[in-house]
Structure 1
Amino acid sequence: MKTIIKSILILSICLWGFQNTHAQDIRFGAKAGADFSNWHGKDVKDADLNTHIRFHAGAFAEIPVAKAWNLESGLYISQKGFEANQEILGFNFDVTNTSTYLDLPVLAKYGMTKNFNVFLGPQFSYLLNNKVPYEFEGEKDTDKGVSGFKKFDLGAVGGMGYQFNNGLLVSANYDFGLLKMDDVTNTKAYNRVIKISAGYRF
């Protein structure tokens, strides 16, 4: 946790420095879209988990640093998790895990052409809440709370985007979680998310 906080502080200082240097060139925007998420890892590979479709939304700033290169960072609310339908001792059990995170990506963005770009970088995430609605033989209930989950997550983000001349944009990226989510039993399970986004850059 201390390492993550220290990294965020260092990145914030770097962004502040870029902002002072290129203040007149900073572009702001907003994005939203669909999250296609699941858990991956050694301890859940045989669990038959299904993709959980939720959403993300937030705002970003884009700072030019060199020819064709930009630094992009922002804050996004992003919902991740999994769905599962299993039979236990002859009984049907449906469960959905929805974890809501605050994501802070810091991306190096390269313009392959005037409109098409690719990007790569780290992402720092903070778990805001977690809900697990489930149904067992027609009986429904919901577990809430973040107990047992690590509050902080670190991931790598890679993707591509297209910036239209009128300000509209679309992008697709893959979030690769690097830290185990479990804070109790050390279960090897990690967030994996495909994000499809649309937005506008002012």
Structure 2
Amino acid sequence: MKKLFLIASFIVLGTTATQAQDYWNFGIKGGANFATIANEDGENPDGRTSFNVGAMVEIPVSDKFSIQPEVLYSAQGATLASFDEDNTFDVDDNVEYQLDYIQVPVLAKIYLVEGLSVQVGPSFNFLANEEIDFDPTSDSGDIDIEDGANGFEFGGAVGLEYKFANGFLIQGRYTRGFSEIYDNADGRNSVVQAGIGFMF
């Protein structure tokens, strides 16, 4: 289901590109994620620092307002204190709980001044990977999890972006899951994203 949705998203973007390339602005972006899992009691685990990368299209509605759908791979989750006090497994000091999503935000983009915009809107997020990594600095130590987190998350995003005249852009964004990560436990994704991109 996740793969089908992702393929369909790229087909839609690709088939409309030739018809609207003079009107729509297509772009790519990437950057850093500073993620954690937010709980109602405020006792959040340590954050996981990772990455996001993807594509976007800006659809102008007026001089000051655009709609910007995106498709992103967003590596999220949290860092857990190592429970291996006796160093039995010879693992890193920290253990990562990795929750990676295909995010599909659909953002309203409002220009405050030339180049500077605020973005806000819903995000439809599909779980792509869930695992515990006992050794985040290497390719070993990964344990896949089956039937853990929910496969779909509904969330929202808000951020600022500055786009230069040559198409280069910088942005900062906060994304938050509105739905729970698990059916029977408290926890929502909370991610600060910072990155750069280019509009063609």
TM-score range, shorter chain: 0.7 to 0.9
What TM-score results when the alignment is normalised by the length of structure 1?
0.79
1:49 and 1:123 map into 2 onto residues whose CA distance is: 23
1:192 and 1:150 map into 2 onto residues whose CA distance is: 16
- Is 1:68 matched with 2:64? yes
User: What are the Cα deviations for residues 10-60 of structure 1, in whole angstroms up to 9, with x where unaligned?
Assistant: xx9xx99xx79x9341000000000000000126x33x5111000000000
What TM-score results when the alignment is normalised by the length of structure 2?
0.80
Aligned partner letter, 1:99 = L
Cross-structure match for 1:167: 167
Structure with the larger strand share: 1
Q: How many residues align?
A: 178
User: What are the Cα deviations for residues 144-178 of structure 1, in whole angstroms up to 9, with x where unaligned?
Assistant: 03422100001110000000111100000000110
Cross-structure match for 1:179: 179
For the Cα contact (< 8 Å) 1:101–1:125, is it kept in 2? yes
Aligned partner letter, 2:108 = A
1:11-26 superposed matches below 5 A: 23=20, 24-26=22-24
Query: 1:67, CA displacement in angstroms?
Result: 2.8
Query: 1:94, CA displacement in angstroms?
Result: 3.7
Query: 1:86, CA displacement in angstroms?
Result: 5.1
Query: Where does structure 1 lack aligned partners over 5 or more consecutive residues?
Result: 1-7
Query: 1:80, CA displacement in angstroms?
Result: 0.2
1:75 and 1:28 map into 2 onto residues whose CA distance is: 12
Aligned partner letter, 1:111 = Y
Structure 2 residue corresponding to 1:195, chosen from 171, 187, 193: 193
1:91-130 superposed matches below 5 A: 94-130=94-130
User: What are the Cα deviations for residues 92-126 of structure 1, in whole angstroms up to 9, with x where unaligned?
Assistant: 78421111110000000011111111010000000
Cross-structure match for 2:36: 38
- Is 1:52 matched with 2:71? no
For the Cα contact (< 8 Å) 1:50–1:84, is it kept in 2? yes
Query: 1:131, CA displacement in angstroms?
Result: 1.7
Cross-structure match for 1:3: none
Query: Where does structure 2 lack aligned partners over 5 or more consecutive residues?
Result: 88-92
For the Cα contact (< 8 Å) 1:129–1:146, is it kept in 2? no
1:147-158 superposed matches below 5 A: 147-158=147-158
- Helix, strand or coil at the partner of 1:67: coil
Q: Report runs of 4+ in structure 1 exceeding 4 Å deviation.
A: 90-93
Root-mean-square deviation (CA, aligned residues, Å) is 2.6
2:128 and 2:83 map into 1 onto residues whose CA distance is: 31
